[in-house]
Amino acid sequence: MKLKIAIQKSGRLHEESLHLLKKCGIRLNSGTGQLKAEADNFPIEVFFLRDDDIPQYVEDAVADIGIVGENVFYEKNRKAKLIKKLGFGKCRLSLAYPKNKSLQRLQDLNGKRIATSYPFLLAKFLKQNHVRAEIHEISGSVEIAPSIGLADAICDLVSSGSTLLTNGLKEGEIILQSEAVIVANKTLSAAKQAILKKLTFRINALQQAQSNKYILLNAPNAKLEKICAILPGMKSPTILPLAQKGWSSVHSVVNENEFWEIIEELKTQGAQGILVVPIEKMIS
């Protein structure tokens, strides 16, 4: 029994999707460029597809799970379950307006034409906001539509905004924040669910590791109590005596969000020789 996973054949999500599987310890036997690859150390089979097709393949159970952008997943509106956000392929679906026109915000779009590759999500957004505009669906190079007179504004994916700028456009309202996600067929067998659980367990371990750092420091014994109170650790900090009398080495795990504040406090409490080390996997 193997879990069939669909990932993008080539494009922005391809590398990171493969890299994720690799970091989960999954070794694929054939390179890219092929339609299919198998792992020799995990019950998984990888299909390389166009991202637009992935939601449908997952709904139809041609693939059991897939990695796609939320933008594609919600646009295609297929029956599949969102399992996990993956933290890469971040972008947003936004409206954008020509810089030098009077048209500047959503309410100005009444009676106008908007070019997009996301007609479903755009229509929903316009309806929610009581704007009546004509949606002009095009499959690529949406950003040039206003300059060639095809549309008055566009709705497209943005990450840095540089593509908009070079086309004389300005980002407006954000319709959707998106990142790559795992989606799954709604009726996976128990055996396949078990494989998926194994996979998500590994991904969770990677994600936890990424948002935490291992920290080592030296502290005078007299200050240990105060220093340990600052450091949470997974259970509690590890304390080891140093060869030098009266000093200890303290080890702990610190969340990235609190990291700099904790370092400041540690220094004030007399911690020295602070080392911060990345964590590869973390299982709590």
Minimum Å distance from CB 134 to ligand ATP? 24
Minimum Å distance from CB 64 to ligand ATP? 19
Rule CB under 5 A: say whether 52 interacts with Zn ion: yes
The DSSP code for 39 is B
The CA distances from residue 230 to 87, 217, 224, 236, 267, in Å, are 29, 13, 10, 11, 11
Whole-number Å distance between alpha carbons of 91 and 70: 10
The DSSP code for 143 is G
Measure the CA angle with vertex 148, ends 143 and 149; round to 5°.
105
Which listed range, 14-22, 46-54, 140-148, 276-284, lies at the site for Zn ion (CB under 5 A)?
Answer: 46-54
Q: Which of residues 32-71 bind ligand ATP (CB under 6 A)?
A: 50-52, 69, 71
Cβ–Cβ < 8 Å for 54, 63: yes
Residue 250 site contact among Zn ion, ligand ATP, none (CB < 5 to 8 Å, cut-off depends on kind): none
Single out the residue of 24, 48, 51, 253 in contact with Zn ion (rule: CB under 5 A). Answer: 51
The CA distances from residue 149 to 8, 70, 126, 283, in Å, are 33, 30, 21, 55
Helix (H) / strand (E) element for 103: namely none
Minimum Å distance from CB 145 to ligand ATP? 16
Rule CB under 5 A: say whether 16 interacts with Zn ion: no
Q: Please give the backbone phi and psi of residue 179, each rounded to the nearest 5 degrees, phi first.
A: -150, 170
Rule CB under 6 A: say whether 159 interacts with ligand ATP: yes
Helix (H) / strand (E) element for 32: namely none
- CB nearer ligand ATP, residue 32 or residue 238: 32
Rule CB under 6 A: say whether 8 interacts with ligand ATP: yes
The CA distances from residue 276 to 31, 218, 232, 280, in Å, are 36, 12, 15, 13
Rule CB under 6 A: say whether 167 interacts with ligand ATP: no
Whole-number Å distance between alpha carbons of 282 and 145: 47
Minimum Å distance from CB 11 to ligand ATP? 2
Rule CB under 5 A: say whether 70 interacts with Zn ion: no
Single out the residue of 6, 13, 20, 250 in contact with ligand ATP (rule: CB under 6 A). Answer: 13
Minimum Å distance from CB 12 to ligand ATP? 4
Structure tokens at 252: 């702990």
Residues at the site binding ligand ATP, with contacts judged by CB under 6 A: 8, 11-13, 50-52, 69, 71-72, 89, 91, 157, 159, 178
